[in-house]
C-alpha cells in the first residue's frame, strides 16, 4: 500500500537523486573525500526526500511549508556540493551536467509543492474547519448612539469638543428639549426590549 508521500513527483525524483548520488560518491570520490565532501553531499541529498516526507506528515499548512522549504534549501546545498566536486575534479563536465538536470527535475515540482502549500494554507490549517467562520455581528444602532453620546459628554467635560458642538451641548444643558426628546426615545426603546 503506497503511503501519502509516495505519490508526489518531487519525492520520487528526490529519492532517485539521493540513491544515485549515494552510489556515485562511494564509487567515484577519493577515499579521503568519502567522509568529507561525499558525506556532506549524501546528507544533503538525503535531507530532500526526508523533509518532503516529514512535511506531508504534518497536518497544518505552516508546518508543511516549513519542511518543504527545508527540502528546497537542501536541494540547493546538493547543487553547491556538486559544483565544488566538479571544481575539485571529482566529477566530469558531462556527469555534472546530467546531475544538474536531475536537480532541476526535482526542483520544479518541489517549488510547485511549496507554492501550493503557501497559497492554499496561508498560515492556517489545511484541513476543513468544523464550523464555517461567521462574520462578527454589528452593534445595533441604538448601542452605537449611546456610545457616541457618552463619548461626546466626556469630551465636553474636558473641553475637547469644537466650538459649535460645545455651544450645542451647553444649550442642551440649559433646557433645550431636542436632546431630552432623544434621551426619552432611547429610554422608551430600552424599556420595550425583553
- Mean pLDDT, the chain, whole residue set: 75
Q: Report the alpha-carbon angle 82-14-76, nearest 5.
A: 40
Tens of pLDDT along 77-111? 999 999 999 999 999 999 999 999 999 999 999 99
Q: For residues 125-146, give the mean pLDDT.
A: 49
Give me the pLDDT at residue 172, please.
Answer: 52
Domain assignment present for residue 98? The answer is yes
Residues 170 and 117 reside in one and the same domain? no
Tell me: do 55 and 12 sit in the same domain: yes
The reply to whether 128 falls in a domain is: no
14 and 109 housed in the same domain: yes
Domain assignment present for 101: yes
CATH number where 70 lies? 1.20.1440.60
Could you tell me if 105 and 149 lie in one domain? no
HSE-CB of 110 using CA atoms within 13 angstroms:
30
**Burial degree of 107 (CB within 10 A; 0-12, 13-18, 19+):** buried
Kindly tell me if the per-residue pLDDT of 128 is higher than 50. Answer: no
Q: How many domains does the chain have?
A: 2
- Position 56 in a domain: yes
pTM, two decimal places:
0.59
Work out the average pLDDT over 8-27: 92
Amino acid at each position: 500500500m503506497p503511503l501519502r508521500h509516495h505519490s508526489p513527483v518531487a519525492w520520487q525524483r528526490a529519492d532517485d537523486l539521493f540513491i544515485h548520488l549515494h552510489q556515485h560518491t562511494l564509487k567515484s570520490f577519493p577515499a579521503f573525500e568519502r567522509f568529507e565532501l561525499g558525506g556532506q553531499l549524501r546528507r544533503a541529498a538525503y535531507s530532500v526526500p526526508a523533509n518532503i516526507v516529514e512535511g506531508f506528515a504534518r497536518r497544518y499548512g505552516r508546518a508543511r511549508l516549513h519542511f518543504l522549504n527545508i527540502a528546497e534549501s537542501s536541494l540547493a546545498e546538493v547543487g553547491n556540493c556538486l559544483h565544488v566536486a566538479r571544481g575539485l575534479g571529482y566529477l566530469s563536465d558531462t556527469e555534472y551536467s546530467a546531475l544538474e538536470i536531475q536537480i532541476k527535475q526535482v526542483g520544479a515540482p518541489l517549488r510547485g509543492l511549496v507554492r501550493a502549500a503557501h497559497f492554499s494554507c496561508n498560515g492556517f490549517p489545511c484541513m476543513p474547519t468544523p464550523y464555517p467562520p461567521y462574520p462578527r455581528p454589528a452593534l445595533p444602532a441604538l448601542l452605537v448612539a449611546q456610545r457616541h453620546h457618552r463619548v461626546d459628554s466626556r469630551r465636553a467635560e474636558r473641553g475637547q469638543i469644537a466650538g459649535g458642538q460645545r455651544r450645542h451641548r451647553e444649550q442642551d444643558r440649559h433646557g433645550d428639549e431636542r436632546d431630552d426628546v432623544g434621551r426619552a426615545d432611547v429610554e422608551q426603546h430600552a424599556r420595550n426590549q425583553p
